[in-house]
Chains A and B, each alone.
Chain A
Amino acid sequence: MSAPASQASVTVARLAASHLSKRYGHVAALNDVSVEFRPGLTGIIGDNGAGKSTLLKIFSGVEVPDEGAVLIDGEPVLLDSARVARRAGIESLYQDLALVETMSIAHNIFLGRELTRRVAGLCLVDRRKMRQAADEALRKVRIAMPPSRTGVRQLSGGQRQAVALARAMRFGARVVLLDEPTAALGPRETAAVLGIVRDMADRGETVVMVGHNLPQMLELADNLLVMRAGRVVATPDPRATTLRDLTEFMVGSLD
């Protein structure tokens, strides 16, 4: 559907979807949505309930669409579980973070990807290596954090978000999906996280970020998707769009 960035248009999108629809009872959360995600940062904006999280959840394997297909490198794939999506190289930060409260920071970062060592044919967890690697990953997030052996239960909302972010970024995924990654962060931490997200995009990774801060999105994103009531209503070029335009896309005509 979209008019993708100039030189990238010849290549196939790393991650795409065609004609996705998803209903929850009478609510059409997604209605015939087609998108393409290419290297760089794609921002998704839209009012509450516009369907942003639902779209990301379909790529994360959490929800299965009623209609339409997800394409990886142009090939249709069935993402019917989070496990399958993660294996396909799609890493997610969920809006509700999905952390295990009873475990440490380190164990949350490596949840499902535990570092192990083999001893006499047994698969043993390597706690020390996970702690070290987790401390390393957290340093990159540049948010004040206790040591990675600390329980997640003891963290503030922003620190939890940092843990989820460190997890989403650590594994060199094909595509990183971030659902409001700065929602719980203070201004300084937000700047730090956005800096990291921008860095990733500059390194040529494919990053998709849902956010409500329009000026920020305009400044940061390479591509924009505006959603309204389950549809993608515009894919404006952030360099040639004003705030007023965006608001208009989101809520309909302003006059």
Chain B
Amino acid sequence: MSTLAEMGTENGGIAVEGGQTSTSGTSRRLTNTLSRDVLIDFALIAALGLLMVIFGVASSGKEFLGSNIVAIFDSGAILGVVAVGEVIVMIAGALDISVGSNAGLVTAAVSEVMVHQRNNLPLAIVAGLLVGALAGAVNGFAVAYLRINAVIATLATYSAFLGAALLVTNGNQVGVVSNFLATLGTGSVASIPYLVFILIVVVAIAMFAMRSTLAGHRVYAVGGSPTASRLAGIRVQRYLLAVFVVSGLCAAVAGVMLVGQTGTAQPTEGSVGLELTAITAVLLGGTGLTGGTGSVLGAVLGVLVLSTLDNGLLLIGVPSFWQEVATGGLLLVAVLLQDVGGHRARWRAVRAARRRAARSSAAMAVRP
């Protein structure tokens, strides 16, 4: 992982070709296009490999690879979908704390429709997705049009959605009877769980949208500088509203997946808390809090690293409290290595300069 920091600082100081605007020099092009995002992705993949080897060796005898890799993806699928929505919001320079309780609210909505509409599953799923998107729209409206700080707005709706979910379900777990959902949530084809397929589809759409479409491009612009974007004629408020709706929709998909996985509406269990893990994964994936940078792929790799860590520690019998500690430690280490503002490079330079100054003043002192 130490190579990441080095490559990162190298990338931060690309030499400027004096006066040349030509696009010659393929090697230079290569180093230039190997952006920070790509480097972080590589580092995360390396970290994933490393974790798997470590846990594979540590749990020798138990077949870590094979069945366990599937388990890692499976346990990360729901979190992954939530993280996709979260990373888009964070690229736009905002934050969505309400995604977990939004997912919980969606499970409540699905169960409510199932109970009262004679197990009409399509209707229940549509209702669930609508509730999630609408909840996202409430966040987006508050942030974009009422100009409430995103953390405050979604902290408020976090409570509100949670409360609504508890009201709907009376605080109870409600069973949802549906073969289709149960299969979706627990079944698999060619030993790949359906939930993983959903994750792959969501990730593929999000990656394409953020990388290639005009809308995705402008989300990066809006996150990078809302003011400059507005002055350039971009409708910043609409984009902000849109990313929150997308995030709400992702939370809704996660909610439906959760109903499938557990067979119940879960106003709190399994959904609340997703937001913090998702934000952790996004940060691991190299997306900053200041907006305009980051990638969907990075966030998903972050999710995989987290669920590999959880899974592996569980496998080698480490108490679950330590998993939390490990997650926190990993986040700190990763962010330090990513060295967002080049602070460490500066710190090193200052320290070296101090040392030189001390040495030269010492030399002055011994001189007669």
Contact = CB atoms under 8 A, between A and B. Distances in A.
A interacts with B: yes
Interface of A: 60, 62, 81-83, 86-87, 92, 94, 98-103, 107-108, 111-114, 116, 122-125, 131, 135, 138-139, 144-150, 154
Given A83-B233, A112-B233, A103 B23 contact: no
Given A82-B230, A125-B213, A150 B16 contact: yes
B213 A98 contact: no
Nearest to B288: A102
Nearest to B14: A154
A150 B22 CA distance: 12
B212 A112 contact: no
B213 A144 contact: no
A99 B21 contact: no
A132 B142 CA distance: 40
Nearest to B225: A100
Contacts of B22: 135, 147
B228 interface: yes
Given A149-B33, A150-B14, A125 B228 contact: no
B229 interface: yes
Given A103-B220, A111-B221, A116-B214, A98 B21 contact: no
A55 to B, nearest CB: 16
Nearest to A141: B21
Contacts of B292: 100-103
B212 to A, nearest CB: 5
Interface string B40-78: 000000000000000000000000000000000000000
A114 B217 contact: yes
Q: Contact size class for B?
A: 35 or more
Contact of B221 (A92, A107, A124): A107
A87 B233 CA distance: 8
A112 B221 CA distance: 9
Interface string B201-219: 0000000000011110110
A103 B220 CA distance: 8
Contacts of B227: 98
Interface of B: 12-14, 16-23, 32-33, 212-215, 217-218, 220-221, 223-225, 227-235, 291-293
A189 to B, nearest CB: 11
Given A100-B225, A102-B220, A94 B19 contact: no
Which residue, A94, A100, A101, A150, has most C-beta atoms of chain B within 10 A?
Answer: A100
22 contacts: A81-B233, A82-B230, A82-B231, A82-B232, A86-B233, A100-B225, A103-B224, A112-B232, A113-B233, A123-B213, A123-B215, A124-B212, A125-B213, A125-B217, A131-B23, A135-B22, A135-B23, A144-B18, A147-B21, A147-B23, A149-B33, A154-B16
Given A98-B232, A144-B18, A123 B225 contact: no
A253 to B, nearest CB: 39
Q: Lowest 10 A-B CB distances belong to which pairs? A: A112-B232, A102-B292, A102-B224, A83-B233, A144-B19, A100-B224, A111-B232, A112-B233, A98-B228, A100-B225
B345 to A, nearest CB: 14
Contacts of A113: 232-233
A91 to B, nearest CB: 10
Given A107-B217, A111-B229, A102 B293 contact: yes
A109 to B, nearest CB: 10
B9 to A, nearest CB: 13
A86 B291 CA distance: 25
A207 B178 CA distance: 69
Contacts of B221: 100, 103, 107, 111
A158 B224 CA distance: 21
B213 A101 contact: no
Nearest to B222: A100
A193 B235 CA distance: 31
